[in-house]
Structure 1
Amino acid sequence: MLISLEWLKQYVDIKENINELENALTMIGQEVEAITIQGKDLDNVVIGHIVEYGRHPEADKLSLLKVNVGEEENLQIICGAPNHKLGDKVVVAKIGAILPGNFKIKKSKIRGVESQGMCCSHEELGLGKDSSGIIILPEDAPVGQEYREYSGLNDVIFELEITPNRPDCLSHIGIAREIAAYYGRKVKYPHAEVFESLDDVENNIKIEIEDKERCKRYAGRVIRGVEVKESPEWLKKRIISMGLNPVNNIVDITNFVMFEYNQPIHAYDLDKLEGNNIIVRKGKVGEKLVTLNNEEVELNGELVIADAQKPIGLAGIVGGANTCIKEETTDLFLEVAYFEPDDIRKNSKKLGIFTDASYRFERGLDIDNVEEVLERATYLIEELSGAKIIGKAKDCYLEKAIRKEIPLDMNKLKKFMGKEIETQDGIKILTNLGLEVKTSLGEGAVVVVPPLYRQDLLRPADLYEEIIRMYGFENIENKMPVEDITAGKKDPTVELIDNTKEILAKIGLQEVINYSFIPKEVKEIFEINKNELFILNPIVETMAMMRPFLTYSILSNIKENLNRNQNSIKIFEVSKVFEKIDDVLAKEEVHMAIGISGREERDLWNSKPGAYDFYTLKGYVEEFMIQVGVKNYKVERTENTNYHPGRAGDIKIGKVLVGTFGEINPKISEKLEIDKERAYIAEINLSLLEKYMKKKKKYEKVVKYPEVSRDLAIVLDENIQVGDMINAIEKSSNYIESVSLFDIYQGEHIAEGKKSVAIGMILRKKEGTLSEEEILKVQDNVLSLIQKKYQGEIRK
């Protein structure tokens, strides 16, 4: 937001210098982004008089001028602008001038003819965006006078960063209120006395609000006998200081009042309205409107301003070209309204049209200020165009807004600030800010009623902030809090996640981090046994669902790495997954996933590395379970269709399924376009596994007695799960330290439907050396167990 210091001084007395004012604005929360001093780049820029006019001998579009700038000799200047003639008073940058953008004016030759300066446009002087022609001054402009002195370019422009919750500060009066409250001064509101004729506005125009949800107030009045012409210099100066180009007196007044009061205004050519009706309604499907910037918009339910036959403006955004103010306009209808902010924001974004008006409407305006703004704009039009005001304004105010009442306990404020402040001082600050303070409710307790332009004030904490920022943050001493400090403790979920990540990194896996959002299409590729949780308004379609598992994300990582020729992929992720419980609640659980694909990196001793397989993944899963202290688990063949039917297993503790690991189903790999290598995934529900983990590690001293190894070759039915048998063997004797599988054979010398399983046992006695008798007894017990429970026989 641009704020002109000279303009601001019309509403509040300012005695401070620029640096003091900048500091004051920053301290009360209106951050100053930049300060521009007008005229600082206008040295050697003077008023000139064209005394000779001719054409450049080598260029038809260039004029060759002699310009009197008040010196002994006239300057010869070549000009390419189309809007000047003999006798015009113009603005001349003499040799030595340095214009904005470090553009240096020096003697030059243009197509062989010398030019001794430049006739300037507003844009070249940094005073606006108009570059269509050079500046033409009134006939009485004094030749040779500095242009900045003549035009009063002694203004200072502050560029402020206004936060979205303070739309009232998008105006000069809004900032004047802030300055006045800070320094304890009065705001001087502008004059707005209107002389009305006896004609009744009902005979000239009728206003109807059809869409009462999106338009709460609409006011307007008929003005006749308007002379549309160039604005006076003071008004043009104000418009230019806001970075706009002056258009004409009517349009400039609507812009002026908007920057004055923060209330957009629009003027319609009355003669172009059909039926003398103004209707605020929903745009009909297929209706079209050409806007002021010549863009054609096809309507589909947007709020519009219409006459009896057609839409004439997009409500709160932009007017239509079919009723715009032109030089021939004599009668107009002036509009001031209040539209719902959410609707303006939605329509502006939908149509891609962003204007000063929509910027203000979508942040919320003061609905009670409509009449005052209408009268101010009417007064200026009456003064600057010789217009006749027809009757009283028509004001459709559907439901008067109710001001909020906020209780404020000054004792709580003092505790919040950490500073003793007198109750009356706090009340005075609030009063200076334009807030009404009602009768005391008790010692230090009052009721505060904010004005409607302060929609950001909703609760006591908001009032605390108002008092503190006006009291001055710099006036509150720094004090260290006195607290009993105790050692912090990690949240259990965070500790679980951190510990898991540390273990997985130590066993040789690399961490990946993915978004918690995945595409909806995932539910068509994977079997999902949870209620999916969808995003109502996803940023993109690839982030439309909260992920119910980590497998999809890990497979996406594998695919991306394989596509980039990374052929050794060993990754993991630890994160939350989500499941919908009902329309209000959702469940979050922590999962861990491991992804493996490709083959070991090639090196000097391993020139043909083998591909990773099921057993590679199984090794990582087993090591993880060892590290977290979970031993009493078993692995069973899975029925999860997301995995290969013969190369995957479920991890169970008792009857509780805590995870699944194995090769991903080839059909899923094909759909995800993972075709270079097989992909292996393990996903474990840490939220379920956590209660089986051993939080404390127990260390045993090293046994000094020797181990004894025994190998057995057992013939079993091919459907027997060897893992179950190994677990049973380990539990059969205290002397058995470990059991491992080292071979499975099917083929010659083995009956059909059978398999030969080779296992190795490590036996050890903690207190003493095992005797031969003890070894044979353990071995016989194992063979008996295998025979009775698994119908196995020693291979012969």
Structure 2
Amino acid sequence: MKFSEAWLREWVNPPVSTEELSDQLSMAGLEVDSVTPVAGEFSGVVVGKVVTREQHPNADKLSLCSVDAGQDEMLQIICGAPNVAAGMKVPVALIGARLPGDFKIKKAKLRGVESQGMICSASELGLADSSDGIMPLPEDATIGSNFREYLALDDQAIDVDLTPDRGDCLGLIGIAREVGVINRCPVNIPSMEPVAAVNDDRFSVKVEAPEACPRYTCRIIRNIDPKAETPLWMQERLRRGELRPISPVVDVTNYVMLELGQPMHGFDLRQLDSEICVRMAVANEKLTLLDGQEIELRSDTLVITDASKVVGMAGIMGGEHSGVADDTTDILLECAFFAPMAITGKSRSYGLHTDASHRYERGVDPQLQVKAIERATQLLLDIVGGEPGPVVETEDESRIEQRPEILLRSARVAKVLGVKIDDETIADILTRLEMRIEPVEEGWRVVAPSCRFDISIEEDLIEEIGRIYGYTNIPTKRTAAATVMQGEPEVAFNLHRAKQMLVDRDYQEVITYSFISKEMHDLTDPQHGTVELANPISADMAIMRTSLWPGLLQTAVYNQSRQQSRIRMFESGLRFINQGAEIKQDIMLSGLVSGPSLPEQWDSNDGSVDFFDIKADLETVLALGGNRDEFDFIAAEHPTLHPGQSAKITRGEKIVGWIGMLHPELEKSLGLSGKAYLFEIRLDQLLEGRLPGFKALSKYPSIRRDIAIVVDGQVEFNEIRALIRQTAPEILQDIRLFDVYTGEKVDSGLKSLALGLILQETSHTLTDQEVEDVVSRVLSALSDKFGAKLRD
């Protein structure tokens, strides 16, 4: 919500500076985003009148003007604007004036003719980003008067960033109410008396969706002046509120919206057929909006129609063919209350966002519509004239949510805020907030005003008291409570330590959105059910992620497009899987690597990362729990990973994660350059580790026996290692795989594995016979289960 400080001070004018006013609003929960001047820095500009305008003798596109600027004599000024004409009143920069950008006006000659000043456009004075010509001024502007003073440009535009629950402050009246309450000063609301009807013209209204539109008001105004122009003071207030002046009818409806927070709309009466109807759209109905965009409506969209066509999306935007045109003389003013839930999310679902939808989604005062239409009528009659008919109101009070009666206990206020505030102060704050209060034994029964949708429980009232009383007036106290220190289990997996381990291995931590697009989900994790958002920020954030890989992959693409070829990153966070009756949330640790395994340097010809690089990194993390041997990597297929380079990570019978190379088709569709390798593991399966224990070191030497066996190519080393450990006695200390060979002298479909068996006894030196017995038992077991043979 952006507004002019000078306009606000016409309503409420506390004795505080602009900076103090901004601090007050921010501390009251209405955060001030910025305070900016409403015009550029300039001086020496006055109101002037173009007395004569002639063609420049030496230039076709320049005009030679005689200008009365209230000086001792007429000024001769050359102007290149196409709209300059005799009789116009304009801003004139005199000799010596300084314009925005520290541009100084001097005497100059243009094509051999002297120019004694400059006729200014709005953009040259910092009042607009661009201009089509010089800025025309009203006839009542006093010649020679200071232009800054004439337009009251020594003003600030205050931009307040409101939270979604404070829709009541999306109008100047709400901001003024807050300032008045904070400073205990009166709020002088402009007179908004009802305008008497001068004819009995009515337009028939039918509301078929009263639950979405409990109140609809409208009024016919005939014979307005289509040539009238919006007064400059109103244009300026709109501009300072970041709204572009368009035409008197549109400007008045926008002005009332800025003033009261109530959106309105003006229809060209001649374009309407018979009656207005408020109903839900019929699927696939079409509407061309005011911005020229044609949309296909859904059945969940509230629309305004006449007897033959849709004329607008309720609470969002009107239709192109029923809007007020340059030659409109009869209008129908519309002002309605639309239930927030009927409008919420609709504009965004159509790719729209308007000032009206922004307000209706947050809640408009349901008792404001008649006042707003009377205020707009009053302004229109002053600007364009016309003959108003009576206000037609269609309402269903039973559909309008009434503000609840809330019991506020004074003892509860003290307990929640931590400070005792006397009852008189509390009652005064609530009264100034326009709440209806009734004293009772415990405190008060309170009913909030109709504009305060955010107040429904006792804590809401306590929050109001706290922010108006002033958070700085609430003393800071140290809390005291009995605590029991709980040590972290020694076997617990430490995520912080795991992150540090990955950082030590040259990874960088990233944090990505929990929301992803449906397309990205279908590419990376189609096997899991999704949680769709009812009101997504955008189509690219429509569902909750079922894996952390989409965020990592998008981050990798982003970095590669910025010439970062070596990528090593990880992320921890939740994934969300729809399992029908419940949403399963798992905390995951995921990583991605791509590009060279080492940074470029003179002493290394190292190539790109591979599967075993990222596997080694993950095994280092798994080893932190002291139970690395409980996790197995088993070849398996995953839709995101390359079929030949992917594995599931298991702990016992449970699948706890996946690792592998990104599928080539997915790599291509994402636009990745080079191979990428990923891992993902469930952290809840790592929490239970193994407690380290001391085992006495043997003083006797170890003995190593190397064997080379030939087995089927599909047999995994994990299976062989498990069988050996199961078969061999305790003297087998370690099993080392030091060679895998396929090729010459090994039959097709088989592979040769070279194993080192490390044996050691704690009570004596092993004999050759003991060692041979162990080796024989191992070879026999391998032969029986896997058909293994010693390699020749």
- For 1:434, the equivalent position in structure 2 comes to 434
1:49-64 correspondence runs (5 A): 49-64=49-64
- How far has the Cα of 1:116 moved from its partner? 0.7
1:372-394: CA deviation from partner (whole Å, max 9, x where unpaired)? 22222233444555544334533
Mapped to 2, the partners of 1:457 and 1:280 lie a distance apart of 29
Indicate conservation of the 8 Å contact 1:230/1:247, yes or no.
no
Provide closer, same or farther for how the CA distance between residues 541 and 566 of structure 1 changes in structure 2, counting only shifts above 3 A. Answer: same
Aligned with residue 451 of structure 2, among 431, 453, 478: 453
Provide closer, same or farther for how the CA distance between residues 781 and 321 of structure 1 changes in structure 2, counting only shifts above 3 A. Answer: closer
Mapped to 1, the partners of 2:645 and 2:138 lie a distance apart of 92
1:262-281 correspondence runs (5 A): 262-275=261-274, 277-281=275-279
1:770-781 correspondence runs (5 A): 770=765, 772=767, 775-780=768-773
Mapped to 2, the partners of 1:183 and 1:365 lie a distance apart of 25
Mapped to 2, the partners of 1:243 and 1:722 lie a distance apart of 70
1:626-646: CA deviation from partner (whole Å, max 9, x where unpaired)? 664337759697565779999
1:200-231: CA deviation from partner (whole Å, max 9, x where unpaired)? 45xx3211123434323210122345445345
1:407-418 correspondence runs (5 A): 407-418=407-418
1:83-102 correspondence runs (5 A): 83-102=83-102
Counterpart residue type for residue 189 of structure 1: I
Mapped to 2, the partners of 1:794 and 1:316 lie a distance apart of 82
Mapped to 2, the partners of 1:386 and 1:559 lie a distance apart of 61
Counterpart residue type for residue 783 of structure 1: S
Aligned with residue 736 of structure 1, among 732, 735, 751: 732
Indicate conservation of the 8 Å contact 2:638/2:646, yes or no.
no
Mapped to 2, the partners of 1:714 and 1:412 lie a distance apart of 79
Provide closer, same or farther for how the CA distance between residues 494 and 43 of structure 1 changes in structure 2, counting only shifts above 3 A. Answer: farther
- For 1:106, the equivalent position in structure 2 comes to 106
Length-normalised TM-score, structure 2:
0.80
Over the matched positions of the two proteins, sequence identity in percent amounts to 34
**Does 1:405 find its partner at 2:405?**
yes
- For 1:144, the equivalent position in structure 2 comes to 144
- For 1:256, the equivalent position in structure 2 comes to 255
Find the residue that maps to 2:367 and give its secondary structure: helix
- For 1:223, the equivalent position in structure 2 comes to 221
Provide closer, same or farther for how the CA distance between residues 714 and 87 of structure 1 changes in structure 2, counting only shifts above 3 A. Answer: closer
Larger Cα-atom Rg? 1
1:204-243 correspondence runs (5 A): 204-228=202-226, 229-230=228-229, 235=234, 238-239=237-238, 241-242=240-241
- For 1:532, the equivalent position in structure 2 comes to 529
Query: Where does the alignment leave 5 or more consecutive residues of structure 2 unmatched?
Result: none
Mapped to 1, the partners of 2:782 and 2:203 lie a distance apart of 99
Find the residue that maps to 2:91 and give its secondary structure: strand
Indicate conservation of the 8 Å contact 1:500/1:574, yes or no.
no
Indicate conservation of the 8 Å contact 2:595/2:674, yes or no.
no
- How far has the Cα of 1:331 moved from its partner? 3.6
Moved more, 493-502 or 46-55: 493-502
Mapped to 2, the partners of 1:414 and 1:23 lie a distance apart of 25
Provide closer, same or farther for how the CA distance between residues 333 and 544 of structure 1 changes in structure 2, counting only shifts above 3 A. Answer: closer
Aligned residues: 780
Provide closer, same or farther for how the CA distance between residues 105 and 244 of structure 1 changes in structure 2, counting only shifts above 3 A. Answer: farther
Indicate conservation of the 8 Å contact 2:656/2:681, yes or no.
yes
Mapped to 2, the partners of 1:194 and 1:435 lie a distance apart of 25
1:114-125 correspondence runs (5 A): 114-125=114-125
- For 2:364, the equivalent position in structure 1 comes to 365
- How far has the Cα of 1:365 moved from its partner? 0.8
Provide closer, same or farther for how the CA distance between residues 688 and 385 of structure 1 changes in structure 2, counting only shifts above 3 A. Answer: closer
1:377-776 correspondence runs (5 A): 377-383=376-382, 387-397=386-396, 399-440=399-440, 442-443=441-442, 445-484=443-482, 495-501=493-499, 510=507, 531-536=528-533, 579-588=577-586, 590=588, 628-630=625-627, 633=630, 687-688=684-685, 690-691=687-688, 693-694=689-690, 696-711=691-706, 727=722, 730=725, 732-742=728-738, 759-767=755-763, 769-770=764-765, 772=767, 775-776=768-769
Indicate conservation of the 8 Å contact 1:591/1:687, yes or no.
no
Indicate conservation of the 8 Å contact 1:577/1:591, yes or no.
no
Mapped to 2, the partners of 1:176 and 1:566 lie a distance apart of 52
Mapped to 2, the partners of 1:674 and 1:761 lie a distance apart of 43
- For 1:174, the equivalent position in structure 2 comes to 174
Moved more, 310-319 or 161-170: 310-319
Mapped to 1, the partners of 2:523 and 2:199 lie a distance apart of 73
1:250-329 correspondence runs (5 A): 250-275=249-274, 277-282=275-280, 285=284, 287-289=286-288, 291=290, 295-301=292-298, 302-320=301-319, 322-325=321-324, 329=328
- How far has the Cα of 1:271 moved from its partner? 3.9
Indicate conservation of the 8 Å contact 1:222/1:332, yes or no.
yes
1:43-93: CA deviation from partner (whole Å, max 9, x where unpaired)? 322233444442210223322122233333321111234445445544322
Provide closer, same or farther for how the CA distance between residues 65 and 699 of structure 1 changes in structure 2, counting only shifts above 3 A. Answer: same
Counterpart residue type for residue 697 of structure 1: P
Find the residue that maps to 1:477 and give its secondary structure: coil
Mapped to 2, the partners of 1:446 and 1:237 lie a distance apart of 45
Indicate conservation of the 8 Å contact 2:181/2:433, yes or no.
yes
Provide closer, same or farther for how the CA distance between residues 585 and 645 of structure 1 changes in structure 2, counting only shifts above 3 A. Answer: closer
Find the residue that maps to 1:533 and give its secondary structure: coil
- For 1:68, the equivalent position in structure 2 comes to 68
Provide closer, same or farther for how the CA distance between residues 261 and 495 of structure 1 changes in structure 2, counting only shifts above 3 A. Answer: same
1:477-525: CA deviation from partner (whole Å, max 9, x where unpaired)? 333333456667669999443444556677x684675856777678988
Find the residue that maps to 1:187 and give its secondary structure: coil
- How far has the Cα of 1:425 moved from its partner? 0.9
- For 1:783, the equivalent position in structure 2 comes to 776
**What value does the CA root-mean-square deviation take over the aligned residues?**
5.0
- For 1:4, the equivalent position in structure 2 comes to 4
Indicate conservation of the 8 Å contact 2:108/2:115, yes or no.
yes
Moved more, 625-634 or 776-785: 625-634
Mapped to 1, the partners of 2:569 and 2:14 lie a distance apart of 65
- How far has the Cα of 1:119 moved from its partner? 2.2
Find the residue that maps to 1:401 and give its secondary structure: coil
Indicate conservation of the 8 Å contact 1:231/1:249, yes or no.
yes
Find the residue that maps to 2:392 and give its secondary structure: strand
1:142-179: CA deviation from partner (whole Å, max 9, x where unpaired)? 54333345556565544433333322223222222112
Find the residue that maps to 1:362 and give its secondary structure: helix
Mapped to 2, the partners of 1:540 and 1:184 lie a distance apart of 43
Find the residue that maps to 1:429 and give its secondary structure: helix
Length-normalised TM-score, structure 1:
0.80
Mapped to 1, the partners of 2:551 and 2:88 lie a distance apart of 72
- How far has the Cα of 1:544 moved from its partner? 7.0
- How far has the Cα of 1:124 moved from its partner? 3.8
Mapped to 2, the partners of 1:681 and 1:232 lie a distance apart of 64
Indicate conservation of the 8 Å contact 1:729/1:782, yes or no.
no
Find the residue that maps to 2:61 and give its secondary structure: strand
Query: Where does the alignment leave 5 or more consecutive residues of structure 1 unmatched?
Result: none
Provide closer, same or farther for how the CA distance between residues 494 and 78 of structure 1 changes in structure 2, counting only shifts above 3 A. Answer: farther
**Does 1:196 find its partner at 2:196?**
yes
Indicate conservation of the 8 Å contact 2:218/2:334, yes or no.
yes
Counterpart residue type for residue 692 of structure 2: K
